[in-house]
Chain A
Amino acid sequence: MKRVVSRGSGVVLIWALNLTILWAVAWAIFDPDAMTVALGAWMAGSVLVWAASAWWRERRAGRPSDEQPLTIVDASHATALLAIAIIAALLATQFGPWLAYISAGIALVAAGGLVRERRAARASLEQVRAAGREERPT
C-alpha cells in the first residue's frame, strides 16, 4: 500500500477506487434514482480510466531525470490573447456574429504566438543541450 501511495498515479488510482466503492454501495445496497447512478458511474469510471492511463504512462516513461534540462516559460502574450478570444467568443452569443469574427481573428493571432513560443522554447533547449555536449569530456 505504501508503495502505491508513494507514486503520484497511485494516489489517483486510490481516489478512483474510493469513488468506485461509494458508487457500488449506492447501487448495490440502496435504491438510487437513475441520475445518482449515472453521475456516480461517470465519476468513478472516468477517474478510473484516467488513473489507469496515468499509471501506465508513469511506468512507461519513468520519472523525469534530474539531469534533464527544462525550459522555464517566463511569459506568454499569446495565452492572454487566447483568453480574450474565448471571452469575446462567449460574448458573441449575446451581441452578434461580428464579435465572433473579431474573436476568431484574435484566436488566430494567439495560435501563431503560441507556435512561436514553442519554437523559441525548443531552440533554447537545443542550445543548452549543445552546450552540454561541448562541455562533456571526450
Chain B
Amino acid sequence: MSTAVRPAPPRTRLVALLTSTDHKHVGLLTGATALIFFALGGLLAVLMRTELAQSGLQVVSDEAYNQLFTIHGSTMFYLFASPIAMAFALYLVPLQIGASQIIWPRLALLGFWLLLGAGVFMYSGFLLQGGAGKAGWFAFDPLSDDVGTPGTGQDLWTLAVILAALSGILQAACVLATIVRRRAPTMTMLRMPVFSWSALVSVLMVVTSYPALVLAMTLLYVDRTTSAAVYDGAMGPIVYQHLFWFFGHPVVYVVFFPFLGAVAEAIATNSRKRFFGYPFMVASLLIFAALSMAVWGHHMFTTSAIENRYFALTTTAILVVAGIEYFDCMGTMWRAKIRMRSSMLFALGFLALFLIGGLTGIFVASPPLDYHVHDTYFVVGHFHYTLFGGTVFGMFAGIYHWFPKVTGRLLDERLGKLHFWLMVPGTLLTFIPMFVLGHDGMTRRISNYAADRGWDGLNTLSTIGSYVIAASLLVFLVNLLRSLRSGTVAGDDPWDGHSLEWATSSPPPQHNFDELPPVRSYAPLMDLREERWRS
C-alpha cells in the first residue's frame, strides 16, 4: 500500500507527541497516562491498607477513607486497567495485522485527551472543600444522589467517569475498525495472532457495554444537578444497578482478555513453539466474551430483583471456556524448551494467580454462597486475584515481552526477576488473608473494626503484603528508567518472535513496515524461520 506523508510543521517534541495521531504515539501516551494513574491508585491502596493494619488506627478520617476506596477503585478501573488494555491494542494490533496506520486516528487521539481530562476531574476533587467522590467506584443510587453524597467532588467524579467511558469507546472503535477494514492483504482473520484476537473481543465488549455506563452516569448527573428525579421510585436503584453492572462486569473481561493474549504470545515465544490449539482459542475467546456480556446480574443476586438461576448458569458456564484457554496455554508449554525470561515468569504468575480468582469465582457465582460472602472481604480477595493476578501480571508479561519493540532497548532481566519474585509473595500475602477475613464476616469499605473480632493478625499480614507489592513496583520503576537511559540495544527481533511486529525495526517507523513478509499462518515469522531451516 503506497503512502503519502504530509510534512509536519516544526513543533516542540512534547507538543508533537501530544498531538500525534500515529497509533504508536497514542498508544504510548495512553499507556503512560494509565501507568501514572496505576501508581496513584496504588498509593491510595497502601494508605488504605495502613489504615486497616490494626484495629483502632486512625491514619485517615472515616470521611477520607471513603474517598480513598472510591478513588482507588475508580482509578484502577476507569483510569488504569481499561486504558492500559486499549493502549496495548492501539500500539500492537496495527503492527500485528500489517496495517500502516489505524482507521480514525484523530478519534484515538481524542480518546487520549478525554482520558487525561477524566483523570484531572477525578483527582481535582481532593482539592475541593467537600473532598473527592466518595460513593464507591460503582456509585449506587441513592447513595450517590445529591442527598446521599452532596458536593462538587462527586459531580466531578461522575463527569470523569463519563469522559473515561467515552475515551474507551472511541479508542475501541478505532481498533475494531482497523481489524475489520485494514488488515494486510493476506492477513485473514484466522491468521491474526492470538493477541489481536484477544484485543478484538475486548473492543467488541467495549463498544457493546460502555454506552450503558455513559447512560447510567449521564442520568445520575442529571439526577444530581437538576430537579428531574431520574432514579426515584421503588425500581430506580435497580434500574441504575442494571445499567451499571451491564458495563461493570464486562469491564472485568475487557481488562483481562488483552493480557490473556499477551500471556499467550509470551508463552508461545518463550516456549519456541506455535501457540497450541489456535482455532479452539479463537472460538473460546468469542464464546467467553459473549457469555461475559450475559453475567452482569450476578452482582445483583441479593437484590431479589433478577432471575438468579439464569445469571448463575451463565456465570458458571464461563469456567468451561476459561478451561479451554488454560489448556491451550499448558499445551503450548508441553515438552517445550522453555526460556525462563521475566515475561515468561509473569505469564506463569498470571496463570497461577488468576486461577485463584477463577476458582473463588465459583463460590460467588452460586447465589446461596454469594448471600453469605456478599459485600465482604471474600469478594475483595476474589476480584483482586482476577484483576491484580490477571490484569497486572498479564500486563507485566506484555511489558517485558514488547518493551524491546517499543523502545529498541532491553529491560534488565535480573531486576525483572527480582520484580517478579517480590510481586508474587506480595500478592499472596495481601489477598489470601482477605478470603478468611471475608468468610469471618469482615465487610468491605470499613475504616476500622473492633479489636475483639480477632482480625488484627490477618489484616497486618495483608498490609505487609501491600508494602511488598509497592517495593516490587519500585524495582520495576528503577528497571524502566535505567533501561530507557542505558539499556542494552535490543535489535529488531530479540526473542525470535512469531508475529509481524517483530519483522519491522525497533521502534517501528511511522508507516510501520518498509516491506511485509508473506503471511501464511498466525505465526508468519516462524513460518519463515522453518522455511530457512528446511532449505
Contacts and interface: CB of A to CB of B under 8 A. Distances in A.
20 contacts: A5-B190, A6-B189, A9-B180, A22-B291, A22-B294, A33-B307, A39-B243, A46-B208, A47-B208, A64-B181, A67-B1, A70-B4, A72-B511, A73-B101, A74-B22, A75-B20, A78-B106, A83-B117, A90-B162, A132-B2
A128 B6 CA distance: 11
B290 interface: yes
B510 A83 contact: no
A138 interface: no
A64 B408 CA distance: 32
Interface of A: 2, 5-12, 14-15, 18-19, 21-23, 25-26, 29-33, 35-36, 39-40, 43, 46-47, 54, 58, 63-64, 66-80, 82-84, 86-87, 90-91, 93-94, 114, 117, 120-121, 124-125, 127-128, 132
A36 B113 contact: no
B271 to A, nearest CB: 26
Contact of B200 (A11, A39, A125, A128): A11
A26 B294 contact: yes
B234 interface: no
Given A22-B291, A47-B208, A73 B314 contact: no
Nearest to B112: A83
A37 to B, nearest CB: 10
Interface string B241-283: 0110010000000000000000000000000000000000010
A6 B282 CA distance: 12
Interface residues of B, number: 71
Contact of B19 (A33, A75, A86, A124): A75
B208 A82 contact: no
Given A70-B4, A128-B4, A30 B309 contact: yes
A15 B307 contact: no
Interface stretch (B151-159, B369-377, B414-422, B460-468): B151-159
B18 A69 contact: no
Given A2-B190, A11-B189, A87-B117, A128 B2 contact: yes
A87 to B, nearest CB: 4
Nearest to B184: A66
Given A6-B190, A82-B110, A83-B117, A74 B162 contact: no
Interface in B176-228: 179-183, 185, 188-190, 200-201, 204, 208-209, 212, 221, 225
Nearest to B180: A8
B492 to A, nearest CB: 21
B290 A74 contact: no
A8 B282 CA distance: 14
Given A26-B310, A93-B225, A94-B155, A114 B4 contact: no
Contacts of B314: 22
B290 A33 contact: no
A79 B290 contact: no
B117 to A, nearest CB: 4
B100 A70 contact: yes
Contacts of B185: 63, 66
Given A35-B239, A72-B101, A22 B290 contact: yes
B306 A33 contact: yes
Given A19-B293, A22-B294, A78-B106, 14 more contacts: A5-B190, A9-B180, A33-B306, A36-B306, A36-B310, A43-B208, A43-B209, A64-B182, A70-B4, A72-B100, A73-B101, A73-B106, A82-B110, A94-B155
Contact of A67 (B2, B105, B242): B2
B55 interface: no
A63 to B, nearest CB: 7
A83 B242 CA distance: 30
Nearest to A2: B190
Contacts of A25: 310
Contacts of A11: 180, 189, 200, 286
B113 A84 contact: yes
Contacts of B12: none
Contacts of B297: 36
A124 to B, nearest CB: 5
A46 B208 CA distance: 8
Contact of B204 (A10, A12, A22, A71): A12
Contacts of B296: 39
Top 9 closest A-B pairs, CB basis?
A83-B113, A8-B180, A18-B290, A87-B117, A30-B310, A22-B294, A128-B4, A35-B242, A6-B188
B286 to A, nearest CB: 6
Nearest to A93: B225
A6 B20 CA distance: 32
B16 interface: yes
B294 A40 contact: yes
Nearest to B297: A36
Interface in B51-110: 100-101, 105-106, 109-110
B490 interface: no
Interface in B465-510: 510
Contacts of B428: none
B204 A15 contact: yes
Nearest to B289: A15
Given A5-B189, A69-B2, A93-B225, A74 B20 contact: yes
Contacts of A77: 19
Given A12-B204, A30-B310, A39-B246, A124 B6 contact: yes
Contacts of A23: 294
A33 B117 contact: no
A13 B116 CA distance: 34
A6 to B, nearest CB: 4
Contacts of B242: 35-36, 39
Interface string B13-56: 00010111110000000000000000000000000000000000
B127 interface: no
A6 B6 CA distance: 34
A9 B200 CA distance: 12
